[in-house]
Structure 1
Amino acid sequence: MSYNGSLPVSDYWSGYVAQAQLPSTPRLALLALLNIPIFAILLNVLWQLIPSRDRSAPPVVFHWIPILGSAVAYGDDPLKFFFQNREKYGDVFTFILLGRRVTVALGAKGNNFVLGGRSTNLSAEDAYTHLTTPVFGKDVVYDCPNDVFMEQKKFVKVGLSTDNLRAYVGMIEDEVEEFLKNDSAFAVYQNNNINEWGKFDSMDILSQITILTASRTLQGKEVRSGLDKSFSDLYNDLDGGFTPINFLFPHLPLESYRKRDRAQTKMSNFYVDILQKRKNGSDDHEHDMMAALLNQKYRDGRLLRDHEIAHILIALLMAGQHTSSASGSWAMLHLAANPDVVEALYQEQIKHFATPDGNLRSMTYEELRQLPILDSVIRETLRMHPPIHSIFRKVRSDIAVPATLSAPSKDGTYVVPAGHYVLACPAVSQADPSIWKEPTKWDPTRWSDPEGVAAQAYKQDADDTEKIDYGFGAVGKGTESPYQPFGAGKHRCIGEQFAYLQLGTIITTIIRRVELRLEGDKFPAHNYHTMITTPKKPRNILYRRREFD
């Protein structure tokens, strides 16, 4: 019996089962098994077509399959998903994500609603601890009360002092130069051939450079010298537990989850062993992050415990590695696609750092902060490619959506119930055509106009007039800015100054040594299937040694 399309699918399968001459009970069971999914989908559709009994609830994005909801459309291209549904429902709507009800609040006011909300109502800990605790470890970040986490952020800021940042510039420059001299991907550079082009995968190379520079600066000599294959294997196993599937399904009985747990224990012990050696008199280290953390005390007077320091260092390594390597990769790809900008960057280097003998001297931290073209390149890259597109909070108690954010429902303002999630997407604000001119175009020059939209958005993000101390030092609130590459509010990234320093030093050191071109005419698309938005393959960059390097 073949299906010719003239009968409904359910009738076709019924006829097929009848011809199979199965006993009545198994036949009925098979019929039920085949038809249950169809009935479930029909019931789900009918339920959505019935006018909502709760008129205070935000509109729900239409979806065919229950539980799965809009997971596929959101996971494949979240920005496309958000912009399309914004046209239908406005800035506030709810979608189903594998059984979770997620209310999206878009635009600057939506960012403020989610990121500026009180932690008693909107909890980052409840949203993320099942993902971060198995990777970072116990008693840090989202595995501790919010006030303790704020103290830990304050401790980390001590290790990111201006004096330390000054020292980090030279360290990063040294690491990048050593990488260019020794990595096989830069064999053409090493052969001193100025006429031959080589190539490298932007994400692979920036991932390696980022972990080398971060370990040298933030982690300390012992960690940097321990970056061998065994450490790399541990890192990869731990990194395998930091994916969207771990966020959505935290307790699957998979080997990758077991590898993650074993790697977390071994890496934690690795750091604790270094701490013990330092406490026992080993002084062969610089004033790095570990040294800073060893001297910090909580408000109640107790010192950080060894495992807390170890887990904070793991969190810094993992979080910084993902975001900086992705941002660096995007920046290098855009530069390779825009040789004129590369040349402008190079000429900026010559203008500020050329020596009488024709070489380029090393930069200082203060000088790095005063390079307008470099600054514009980094800002524009972060505008177009913020590392994290979606920021979740779990609702602890029913919360009303401000009427200024959305049109009120017939019964008043929308209300998001406890147990649901809310989501902000600063990436939407940073790509909004009603705010930015040609938002999909990478244009660093937009940041040169002191009265332009970009400069005003950046000023609003820095929030010079409204500084708030959430427990780790005064920072700009910035929750209503359309430009938030480092988040906003109390969970704003405290490593943004280091990120600018790291990205700036890596970019300038590479630009000093090689010319860049993009391989092929097609610019890489976004890969949204990872926790951090990365470029899809192919993402190769061609390079050629500079004549006067």
Structure 2
Amino acid sequence: MDWDYYTLLKTSVAIIIVFVVAKLITSSKSKKKTSVVPLPPVLKAWPPFIGSLIRFMKGPIVLLREEYPKLGSVFTVKLLHKNITFLIGPEVSSHFFNAYESELSQKEIYKFNVPTFGPGVVFDVDYPVRMEQFRFFSSALKVNKLRGYVDQMTKETEDYFSKWGESGEVDLKAELERLITLTASRCLLGREVRDQLFDDVAPLFHDLDKGMQPISVIFPKLPIPAHNCRDRARGKIAKIFSNIIATRKRSGDKSENDMLQCFIDSKYKDGRETTESEVTGLLIAGLFAGQHTSSITATWTGAYLIQNKHWWSAALDEQKKLIGKHGDKIDYDVLSEMDFLFRSAKEALRLHPPKILLLRTVHSDFTVTTPEGKQYEIPKGHIVATSPAFANRLPHVYKDPENFDPDRFSKEREEDKAAGSCSYISLGAGRHECPGGSFAFLQIKAVWCHLLRNFELELVSPFPEINWNALVVGAKGNVMVRYKRRPLS
């Protein structure tokens, strides 16, 4: 059919009118929907989208410090084509930590871990499988397992510090990183790695660690030297553990008390056994989750205690009382009695959580109510974020939040519970609380009870700054300490 010019013009106009009317109806419905519960305020930036990205890349904590007083506990930042909505504070964070995966998902956000952890584990599997794998972690961290781990932790600690002289200076951060790697290797990776293959495996894990760069979050497979080195190390680790797993299975010996054996023995609900690839990936994930948190928190705990004579004396007094009660014995029960040392580590972790941002993808709309009573709708497609590093220092939750004060967690105060279950989020909270917290605190207490009992310590370098540029945030530079050996009588 041949259409003349006027017919084509009228048809085009009609199509445009239909499109505009449809758009107006859609817009009207959208406005009608959001007029009841509005969207969160949006951070204004110039140029649009890119301006916010520039500020965000300079440091999310700086951005939060500047905008939280203006925009409140719920606001959105537009980063290119993404909308990131911050939920800051216990009053608005409950859904973040307690929602089901079908509502708020981790998988899309943390997919960048797959090249490091490997295929078929954690964020490379569907939620039901991931939950079963987390059940394997929980089984490996039950109290009966932790009791055995303590013996291994204390032996590694005693052996390590026996190599120190009568006096000297050391980089406390570097020393604790090495020691935590040794204890984690023995408890998690197994006797074969610790006794025979540690010198081979430790550098490989170091290469894996260095392969997790800030750019890896966006481009995890970008062919840069750090990623290439990571991939080679991952392949070598897989071969080493495949041989260990196969040897253990052939021997039929299940007497080893380590996470490796727990994963080998684990079965899914359908009766399927874990594969060598899955065991290797879960071990790598477990080591990454625990090693950084333990070594970073152990360093900050020591720096604060050594710097402050009052808190150092309180820690010493606790050890003297326990020696009077139990002698030199150190086991799970004795470590469990170290309440002040636990509170000190917990306070260091409040001030310095290694993960400064936690993220989820929104799969279904939900609403939040601010402390002021304002309601906002968080729509599907947004990314929701919260920041332990910022939320843990809110003055309406914690008294003098910038100060190191272990007594804020005492039974008389319990500041972490006063504002609700999401007040302390260094290890997550609710449905997504880290299952390895008990293991990490045991490691830290095993290390520091030995140092307190056997050494006088003095901080000789300035108190450490925070290394905000790292993907996992710890102390910046060296933490130099002068030590002198002495028994605690």
Structure 2 residue corresponding to 1:91, chosen from 70, 73, 79: 73
Structure 1 residue corresponding to 2:367, chosen from 398, 401, 411: 401
Two-structure CA RMSD over aligned residues (Å): 2.6
Corresponding position of 2:394: 432
**Native 8 Å contact 2:238 2:280 kept in 1:** yes
Which amino acid in structure 2 is aligned with residue 63 of structure 1? A
Structure 2 residue 379 is matched with structure 1 residue 416: yes
Deviation of 1:156 after TM superposition, in Å, equals: 1.8
Which amino acid in structure 2 is aligned with residue 539 of structure 1? V
Distance 1:70 1:540 in 2: 38
SS in 2 for 1:401: strand
Distance 2:176 2:80 in 1: 33
Residues 265-324 of structure 1: CA deviation (Å, up to 9, x unaligned): 211221111000011117496222122222221111111112111110111111211111
SS in 1 for 2:148: helix
Structure 2 residue 406 is matched with structure 1 residue 444: yes
Deviation of 1:370 after TM superposition, in Å, equals: 1.5
Structure 1 window deviating more from structure 2 (489-498 vs 60-69): it is 60-69
Distance 2:101 2:275 in 1: 26
Corresponding position of 2:291: 321
**Native 8 Å contact 2:366 2:379 kept in 1:** yes
**Native 8 Å contact 1:391 1:424 kept in 2:** yes
Counterparts in 2 of 1:548 and 1:497: CA distance versus 1, 3 Å: closer
Residues 8-63 of structure 1: CA deviation (Å, up to 9, x unaligned): xxxxxxxxxxxxxxxxxxxxxxxxxxxxxxxxxxxxxxxxxxxx998744222233
Corresponding position of 2:224: 254
SS in 1 for 2:329: coil
**Native 8 Å contact 1:169 1:505 kept in 2:** yes
Distance 1:208 1:67 in 2: 43
Corresponding position of 1:531: 471
Corresponding position of 2:203: 233
**Native 8 Å contact 1:353 1:363 kept in 2:** no
Counterparts in 2 of 1:405 and 1:232: CA distance versus 1, 3 Å: same
SS in 2 for 1:530: coil
Alignment of 1:68-467 (within 5 A): 68-97=50-79, 100-129=82-111, 131-182=112-163, 186=164, 190=165, 192-193=166-167, 198-281=168-251, 283=253, 286-354=256-324, 361-397=328-364, 399-404=365-370, 413-418=376-381, 420-448=382-410, 450-454=411-415, 456-457=417-418
Deviation of 1:339 after TM superposition, in Å, equals: 3.1
Deviation of 1:538 after TM superposition, in Å, equals: 4.1
Which amino acid in structure 1 is aligned with residue 470 of structure 2? T
Deviation of 1:135 after TM superposition, in Å, equals: 0.5
Counterparts in 2 of 1:354 and 1:426: CA distance versus 1, 3 Å: same
Distance 2:200 2:52 in 1: 40
**Native 8 Å contact 2:186 2:193 kept in 1:** yes
Distance 1:286 1:508 in 2: 26
Which amino acid in structure 2 is aligned with residue 485 of structure 1? S
SS in 2 for 1:315: helix
Distance 2:160 2:322 in 1: 24
Which amino acid in structure 1 is aligned with residue 176 of structure 2? L
Deviation of 1:124 after TM superposition, in Å, equals: 0.3
SS in 1 for 2:401: coil
Q: TM-score normalized by structure 2? A: 0.86
SS in 1 for 2:43: coil
Structure 1: gaps spanning 5 or more residues = 1-51, 461-477
Deviation of 1:72 after TM superposition, in Å, equals: 4.9
Structure 2 residue corresponding to 1:493, chosen from 428, 431, 434: 434
Residues 327-377 of structure 1: CA deviation (Å, up to 9, x unaligned): 111111111212332232223222212489xxx512121121112221221
Q: TM-score normalized by structure 1? A: 0.77
SS in 1 for 2:92: helix
Counterparts in 2 of 1:505 and 1:65: CA distance versus 1, 3 Å: farther
Structure 2: gaps spanning 5 or more residues = 1-29
Deviation of 1:442 after TM superposition, in Å, equals: 0.3
SS in 2 for 1:96: strand
Deviation of 1:94 after TM superposition, in Å, equals: 1.4
Deviation of 1:181 after TM superposition, in Å, equals: 2.5
**Native 8 Å contact 1:514 1:543 kept in 2:** yes
**Native 8 Å contact 2:91 2:369 kept in 1:** no
Counterparts in 2 of 1:155 and 1:376: CA distance versus 1, 3 Å: same
Corresponding position of 2:482: 542
Distance 1:159 1:404 in 2: 39
Deviation of 1:147 after TM superposition, in Å, equals: 1.3
Which amino acid in structure 1 is aligned with residue 52 of structure 2? S
Percent of pairs with identical residues: 32
Distance 1:496 1:506 in 2: 16
SS in 1 for 2:427: coil
Deviation of 1:67 after TM superposition, in Å, equals: 5.1
**Native 8 Å contact 2:172 2:478 kept in 1:** no
Counterparts in 2 of 1:430 and 1:507: CA distance versus 1, 3 Å: same
Corresponding position of 2:46: 64
Distance 2:169 2:57 in 1: 31
Alignment of 1:30-49 (within 5 A): none
Deviation of 1:66 after TM superposition, in Å, equals: 5.1
Alignment of 1:466-477 (within 5 A): none
Structure 1 window deviating more from structure 2 (258-267 vs 98-107): it is 98-107
Distance 1:363 1:72 in 2: 51
Which amino acid in structure 2 is aligned with residue 372 of structure 1? D
